[in-house]
Amino acid sequence: MPRQRRGAVGRARHRSGEEGPDEALLRADRPGRPGAAQGGPRPPRDLQPGKGVAAGLALLRLRRGEAAGGDVGVTADLVTPSSVEELAALLERATRERLSVRIVGGGTHSGFGDPEEPDIVVSTAALSQVHSWEPDDLTIVVGAGARVAEVESMLAGRGQTLVFPEHPGDATIGGVISAGISSLRRGRLYSTRERVLETVVVTGDGRVVRSGGRVVKNVTGYDLFRLQVGAFGSLGVIVSVCLKLWPVPQASATVTVSDPSEASRVIRPLAVLQDRDGTRLYLSGTAGEVETLASRFEGPVTPGLDWPADPDGAWCWSLRVPPALTPEAVRRLPDSWDFLAIHGVGEVRAASPDEEGADDLRRWAESVGGRLVVARRPAGTSFDPWGTPPPGLDLQRRLIEAFDPARALNRGFLPGGI
């Protein structure tokens, strides 16, 4: 999937009565609008809408074996709608003409499944505005094309965080939600699914559907908006989303421990992570709380949160098991596999030079109610990316029929080839 450079995070508003440097920058990106800061700072040129599209198209053409280059303005392969209305019209026409559509965010989670080659590639790069931000309510409404790193940087100025993946790279808000990727802190601060309060989605046939509500406690009906988490775009293109934020802790520390079981000395640590180098315990709270908790351990203590990156290799894997079986999952990994185990959650992220040992590991995982999923693999390999289809696949197909009757969107990303 081609990578796209994201547009600048758009204008934000909030009720605090104060404007920080990030808000001034965001408003300055829209000169000429009422109240816009004239002559103020502007985002870097390579972060402005429309930049980087040619590079993404070149990658698309190279993958298709065509010559790179050409004028993106006269090529129909890649389209970057700048509004909900444009996107809805595009998808309605694609459905009418029986064209398949690939949705592109940052391209960081494009290795899942066995996707079909599309007729049209739709980039969310121009749908990157921050529509509203309520620091007092700990909520934000943001476009799906906004880069996670940019939004996190803006929120950090007010001591808040999305609690999205710690090393997002070029990942977008919509991409993280569509792939169902959660933070390493999910054991304490919950998963990405539980952070979504509302979505605006354009269905495969061009309908605009809003579900959920911009309040933390929402009892308005079915959680249709949370169906989008992990759906890989099969239920529509996410246009914008309302997310629950979290305050950045006053103090934090990383403690090296000899064994994951030592985490039992702390009630609900922020995270317990294990890799080939050892096990680290992550603590947060007030300065006094963190100091007291850290004193219970003999290992070295580092101020702050030293988050490791996910393992990287030719093959990348996501192993999910019942949380109590995480230590057993680590023991069963082939010696050649690098890994990052998230204890208390039941997830092991791994990387390997090849698929050797994966069949045995998958059989064990499925026998205990878990699964081994391929997150990335070399082109041309035939190893099943999902394994045994999960129960409820027929229900998933019926949902897709309701949201995307022509089955135009992101074909092949989900289990069972759907």
DSSP of 81-145, one letter per residue?
--SHHHHHHHHHHHHHTT--EEEESSSTTTTSS-PPPPSEEEE-TT---EEEEETTTTEEEEETT
Residue of 209, 218, 221 whose CA lies nearest to 243: 218
Residue with tokens 């970057």: 80
- Does domain 1-248+392-418 match CATH 3.40.50.1000? no
Quote the CA–CA distance of 331 and 334 in Å, as a whole number: 8
Token pair, residue 388, equals 């045994």
Is the distance from CB of 3 to CB of 106 less than 8 angstroms?
yes
pTM more than 0.85: no
For 275, the 3-state DSSP assignment is strand
> Hey, what CATH topology would domain 315-376 get?
Alpha-Beta Plaits (3.30.70)
Tell me if 251-303 shares its fold with 315-376: yes
pLDDT at 216: 58
> Hey, what CATH topology would domain 251-303 get?
Alpha-Beta Plaits (3.30.70)
Quote the CA–CA distance of 416 and 234 in Å, as a whole number: 13
The two beta strands, 301-303 and 271-275, are unpaired
Q: What is the pLDDT along the chain (418 residues), one digit of tens a residue?
A: 444 433 444 444 444 344 443 443 233 333 333 333 333 222 222 323 333 334 333 433 333 333 323 332 323 378 999 999 999 999 999 999 999 999 999 989 999 999 999 999 999 999 999 999 999 999 999 999 999 999 999 999 999 999 999 999 999 999 999 999 999 999 999 999 999 999 999 999 999 999 887 765 554 555 788 899 999 999 999 999 999 999 999 999 999 999 999 988 888 899 999 999 999 999 999 999 999 999 999 999 999 999 999 999 999 999 999 999 999 999 999 999 999 999 999 999 999 999 999 999 999 999 999 999 999 999 999 999 999 998 888 999 999 999 999 999 999 999 988 8
pLDDT at 168: 96
Virtual torsion, Cα 179, 185, 188, 190, nearest 10 deg? -20
pLDDT at 224: 81
**Domain ranges for the chain:** 1-248+392-418, 251-303, 315-376
Backbone angles phi, psi at 144, to 5 degrees: -65, -25
